[in-house]
Structures are given as C-alpha cells and as structure tokens.
Amino acid sequence: MDFLDPRKKRARRARLSVGYGLMAVMISIATVILVYETYGFSVDTKTGNIVENGLLFVGSQPDQADIYLNSKLQDSKTNARLVLPSGKYHLLIKKTGYRDWQRSFSLQAHTVERYVYPFLLPVELKLQTIRSYVTTPPLASQSPDHRWLLLQVPATGSKTANFELYDTTKPAQPPLALSLSSTLLSAADKVGSNLKEVEWSSDNRHLLLEHAYSGGSEFIIFDRETPSASININKTLNVNPNQVALFDKKIDQIYLHDKTKATLQIGDLKAKTVGTVLLNRVLAFKSYATNIILYVTDESQAAGKVMARIWNNGDIYPLYEFSSGNKYLVDIARFSGDWYLVAGSDTEERINLYKNPLDNIKNPKVKKALPILALRELGAQKISFSTNTRFVAVQAGQNFAVYDMETQQSYRYNIVIPLASTMAWMDGHRLIGQSAGQAVVFDYDGTNQQILVPSLWGNGAFFNRGYKKMFVLTPSARTTVLQSIDLLAGSDLPD
C-alpha cells in the first residue's frame, strides 16, 4: 500500500511543502501588490515601470454623463471612481441635451480628488408660464426646504399686504391666496410702503419681514399657514428696533438691535416681554444656535478702530481688532463639527476667517484667536457661507474671494460680465445672481459661468426640491410672468 511506503510518504511531504511554499510566495506577492495599489502604485505593463497614482471621483446631476480626461473618452460614466497616474488633467463632462461642464486640475500621487458636484444645465431652457401679473411682485421669497414660493401681489392703495403661495412640488396647481390683516401693518397704504425678507424660521412656516414706510419701519412674523396668527413685533413688545433676528431660527424669541442706542436685547414673543440689555455698543452681530454671538463693537476701542468679540454662554472673548467702516461683515457656520467665524469691514482689505477660535483663546499657552487665513477684498459688500457651509465667499463688486473648508484651498477671481447685485448661493457649490437682466450662475471658483434666462429677480431664480425645476419672473410686453423651466433634458425627462 502506497500510503505505508516511507519513500512515497517523504515525497508527498516534499511536494506539499513545495506547494505550501509557492502558495505563501503567491500570497506575499499579492499582499504586496494590494498594499502598493492601496497606496497608489501600479505597474505600467508596457514598460514595467512603477506608476504613482491618485484617485478621482467624478459625479454629476443628472448622472450617466460621459467623462473625458485630456480629450480622451473614459469607459466609465458619472458617477465614477477612476485610478489615474499623477499629473495634470482637463476634465470634461458631456451629456446629450446638456451644456458641457469642465475644469482643469492637478492630481497628486496618493491623493484623492472629488468632483461630484457638477450640475449639467440643459442646452435649451424651455419656459412654461405659470401666472401673469399686471405689475412686478415687489417681494418674492422661498422657504429653506425649497417647497414654498411666496410672492407679494401688487395692490395700489390697499391697506393689506396680499400674497400668493406656490407649492413648487405641484407647480401646475393654482397658488393659495393669503393676506396680512390691515391692523397688522402701519401705513400700508402709503407711498413708499414695502416689505423685505429678513429670514425664514427652521419650521419653513414663519417668515420674518421688515416693513418700511414713510416715517419708520417695523418687523412682522408672517405665518404662511395661518396668516391671522402673524405678529407685529413692534406692537407686541412695544419696541422700535432697527434690526431683528430670530433666536435659534425659531419664532418664540428674537434678538432686538437698537442701532441708535447700540444695544442688543432678547424679546420673548410668548411672554410679550423684553429682557435686559444683553450687550452694549453693538454695531453689527450674527448669532448661532442659543449660545454664541459674534459681534462688532467700538467699546473701549481707539478712534477709528473696532473689535470683533464672541459672546459665548454669557462670557465675552476678544476676536480681533480692525478699522471701523460703513458696513461690517460677520458670519458664523459649522462644518464637519468645527466652528468657523469671519469678521471684517468694508474699509479693510483683510477679512479674517477663524476656525474654532475659542480653543486658542482659552488655551493658556496661546490666549488669543489665530486666523487660518485672510479673505482679501477691499470694499467687501457681502460675506456668506454656502448652503452646505463648505465654502465661504466674500464679494466686492465683480471680485470674489472664496475659501474651501474641506480642501483648505483659496480662490480669488474677477467676474467679467456685469453683475447687477450681490450673488447668492444657489446650493452648496454654485453662486447665482443677475447680469443684464439675465439669471447667471457659476461654480464657487468662478468657473463654468452660464447665462440662463431673462429674470427680474436679483437672486436670479428659485428652485424646487432636488433642483429639477427652476422658477423665474420674466418681463413680458405688458405684464410680468412667473415661469418654470425644466432642468432635465433628453432621456432624463419623465415619460
């Protein structure tokens, strides 16, 4: 019997040992290859040379678009994951029925680049009329969830403010007629009376409005579900503030800023009371949640100088000193769990951006806030965070300075086409506004500029949830027309 033969047993053990050895070698080689691939290495099969790679993610809305790299069509469509040798690339995304999207970039070895935000706009934007107005609606506003579009209906000599509320999920449905009580507004029938949006509450139901009229102004909380429950803040609290802001984006409490006295107080609309002065010598402020206020003050400052300070749960910390100006720009946001604060004036070229400044201020070894960079734009008109808070942008006329909190990259650029006013964030990656009576949009870094359609709105346009439709107010021969535009084309259109 062979299995009892000692020589054959030794031969079998030898063969097994060799086999196990070869398997170990193969596993080791495969492990090394996988490790090298993980760290971005590959082998050029033609030359045998080691290639250092990077990783590229490419996405688009809508997806399934063609990807070109350095004019070469790739096998994958958006959304795609591509392993590429390090180097310089020109990325082009194309899809039938849509405008091209493109940009150039450098891919470093062992790094990841993500271009998952491209928004493809149709080549042909077809306008569909929803409603016509004899004169242009003086106010247009959209809730943060993009569902509700509120237009004020022009009414000469009326003591009431009349509105039409559109549900953007059902654009063909007639709007709901709403109105504010004639007793709620002061001098609503006088020439010069107008309403301006301040901010929406987080419930997408209440809108804080400023009503300006000949001789003064007042603040209204408009309830779109129950207009009769709307509140005149001035009358309810017997105050006359110059600025009002919602406390934690809710309507129960509000910040009251008296610019004449330079005081900041909190009003309680349920209790109908006003608290004691929270802060003195406040020139401008921005609050976040319930426990932090970034404000500018001239208190204890030399002539021509102001100080940005942080109020945090009752404690006050200095941020930094800068030159006084005609306009102060302050904002707060959170991104990936970190706090970002920015402050400056229109007379300073340097507008400082801080990341978690209280960490350094409270650190006994540092004891002061250290900016991560300066956004340099003299004569800044506006500062704002994108809707996903990843970007912060400063605009001074045609000039922009933008910082990307995720990649820690800065951008400075000039827009050549004339901009009618300051731009707004369309979403997390694009700015939108108006140029020469047309809605215009471009990416955060100024690339992929697109002229869209005629629009009377300074912010360019509004969008429904998912950005499948766009809404604009366009001029007509004798009327003003509210129109919708499909942002899908070709095979992406619903059957």
Q: Name the residue among 37, 40, 39, 36 with its Cα closest to residue 87.
A: 40
CA distances for 295 relative to 286, 314, 359, 385, 453, angstroms: 6, 13, 18, 17, 39
| Residue 387 CA from chain centroid, whole number | 2
Burial of 47 (0-12, 13-18, 19+ CB in 10 A): exposed
* Per-residue pLDDT at 198: 98
Q: Name the residue among 318, 277, 312, 275 with its Cα closest to residue 291.
A: 312
For residue 173, give the DSSP letter.
S
Tokens for 494, please give them.
């619903």
Q: Does domain 53-115 have CATH number 2.60.40.10?
A: yes
* Per-residue pLDDT at 352: 97
CA distances for 171 relative to 224, 468, 482, angstroms: 18, 12, 11
* Per-residue pLDDT at 244: 98
Q: What DSSP string runs through 348-396?
A: -SEEEEEESHHHHHT-TTT-S---SEEEE-TT--EEEE-TTSSEEEEEE
Query: Strand pairing partners for 50?
Result: 43
Long-range contacts of 279-282 (CB under 8 A, 24+ apart): 279/311, 282/257
Q: What DSSP string runs through 253-305?
A: EEEEEETTTTEEEEEETTTTEEPPPSBSSEEEEEEETTTEEEEEE-TT--TTE
Q: Report how far residue 336's alpha carbon sits from residue 371's, in angstroms, rounded to the nearest whole number.
A: 18
Q: Name the residue among 403, 389, 282, 374 with its Cα closest to residue 339.
A: 389
Q: Report how far residue 304's alpha carbon sits from residue 132's, in angstroms, rounded to the nearest whole number.
A: 51
Cis bond upstream, residue 79 (ω within 30): yes
Tokens for 51, please give them.
């290639």
Q: Report how far residue 473's alpha carbon sits from residue 483's, in angstroms, rounded to the nearest whole number.
A: 6
Q: Report how far residue 180's alpha carbon sits from residue 218's, in angstroms, rounded to the nearest whole number.
A: 14
CA distances for 254 relative to 43, 144, 162, angstroms: 63, 19, 25
* Per-residue pLDDT at 35: 43
pLDDT in single tens digits along all 495 residues of the chain:
555 566 666 666 666 666 666 665 566 555 544 444 444 555 444 444 445 899 999 999 999 999 999 999 999 999 999 999 999 999 999 999 999 999 999 999 999 999 999 999 999 999 999 999 998 999 999 999 999 999 999 776 666 789 999 999 998 899 999 999 888 998 766 666 899 999 999 999 999 999 998 888 999 999 999 999 999 999 999 999 999 999 999 999 999 999 999 999 999 999 999 999 999 999 999 999 999 999 999 999 999 999 999 999 999 999 999 999 999 999 999 999 999 999 999 999 999 999 999 999 999 999 999 999 999 999 999 999 999 999 999 999 999 999 999 999 999 999 999 999 999 999 999 999 999 999 999 999 999 999 999 999 999 999 999 999 999 999 988 899 999 999 999 889 887
User: In the block, which residue shows the tokens 């062992």?
Assistant: 110
* Residue pLDDT, tens place only, 292-333: 999 999 999 999 999 999 999 999 999 999 999 999 999 999
User: In the block, which residue shows the tokens 């507008």?
Assistant: 351
Taken in order 234, 239, 241, 246, is the CA torsion positive or negative? negative
180-206 per-residue burial string, b: 16 or more CB within 10 A, e: under 16:
beeebbbbbeeeebebeebebbeebeb
Residues in Cβ contact with 117 at an 8 Å cutoff, skipping those fewer than 6 apart: 59, 428, 429
Q: What is the pTM of this model?
A: 0.88
- What are the residue boundaries of the structural domains of the chain, listed by start? 2-38, 53-115
